[in-house]
Amino acid sequence: MDPPSARSYLQLMDRQLEAALTLLSAVDTVSLWARPSIEEWSPGEHLSHATAVHRFFRRLNQVLWPISSLIARQRLHSPFRPTIDDIYARPGFPHAIGRIWPPSYSYRRPTSLQQLSEEIRKEHGLLHNFYGTKDEEVLGHAPLYYPSTGRVNYTQSLRIAIFHDAHHFAEIKNAVSSARDKRRPGA
- Rounded to two decimals, the pTM is 0.92
Residue 63 · residue 130 · CB < 8 Å? no
Q: Rounded to whole angstroms, how far apart are CA atoms 111 and 29?
A: 9
pLDDT at 113: 97
Count other C-beta atoms under 10 Å from residue 158's C-beta.
27
pLDDT at 183: 63
Write b or e for each residue in 95-111: b if 16 or more Cβ atoms lie within 10 A of its Cβ, otherwise e. Answer: eeebeebebbbbeeebb
Task: Tell me which H or E stretch contains 153.
Answer: strand 150-153
Torsion sign, CA atoms 154, 158, 163, 165? positive
Listed as ranges, residues in the chain with pLDDT below 50 are none
pLDDT at 95: 81
Count other C-beta atoms under 10 Å from residue 145's C-beta.
10
**Is 1.10.3720.10 the CATH number for 6-183?**
no
110: alpha, beta or left? (left if phi > 0; alpha if psi -120 to 50): beta
pLDDT at 1: 58
- Best CA proximity match to 13, nearest among 171, 172, 177, 157: 157
pLDDT at 96: 81
